[in-house]
Amino acid sequence: MNLVLLGPPGAGKGTQAARLAEQYQIPKISTGEILREVAQKPDALGVRVGEYINHGLMVPDDIILELVWRQLEQGAAQAGFVLDGFPRTMAQAEALDRFLSRRSNTDSPGVETLDAVLDLEVDEDELIRRLSGRRVCSKCGASYHLVSRPPREDQRCDRDGAVLEQRKDDQPEAIRERLKLYHQRTEPVLDYYRAKGLLHQVEGDREMGQVARQIEQILEQRSQSSGAGSRVSVETSHGDTDQTESRPPGTDH
102 annotated active-site:
no
Q: How far is the CB of 15 from ligand AMP (least distance, A)?
A: 12
Contact 138, 111 (CB under 8 A): no
CB atoms within 10 A of CB 245: 18
Among 59, 164, 198, 219, binds ligand AMP (CB under 6 A): 59
Q: How far is the CB of 107 from ligand AMP (least distance, A)?
A: 29
The residue with its CB nearest to ligand AMP is 32
88 annotated active-site:
yes
Closest-CA residue to 84 (of 138, 12, 173, 185) = 12
| Residue 82 binding ligand AMP, by CB under 6 A | no
13, 19, 135, 196: which one is catalytic?
13
180 annotated active-site:
no
| Residue 53 binding ligand AMP, by CB under 6 A | yes
Lay out the site mask for ligand AMP across 4-23 (x = CB under 6 A, - = otherwise).
Answer: -----x--------------
Among 32, 80, 197, 204, binds ligand AMP (CB under 6 A): 32
| Residue 31 binding ligand AMP, by CB under 6 A | yes
**Checking phi first, is residue 27 left (phi over 0); if not, alpha (psi -120 to 50) or beta?**
beta
Q: How far is the CB of 95 from ligand AMP (least distance, A)?
A: 11
176 annotated active-site:
no
| Residue 151 binding ligand AMP, by CB under 6 A | no
* # of chain residues touching ligand AMP (CB under 6 A): 17
The residue (of 31 and 113) whose beta carbon lies closer to ligand AMP is 31
28, 130, 135, 178: which one is catalytic?
178
178 annotated active-site:
yes
64-76 residues labelled b (16+ CB within 10 A) or e (exposed): bbebbeebbeebb
The residue (of 135 and 247) whose beta carbon lies closer to ligand AMP is 135
| Residue 71 binding ligand AMP, by CB under 6 A | no
Where along the sequence are the contacts to ligand AMP (CB under 6 A)? Answer: 9, 31-32, 35, 52-53, 56-59, 64, 85-86, 88, 92, 169, 178
Catalytic residues: 13, 88, 134, 167, 178
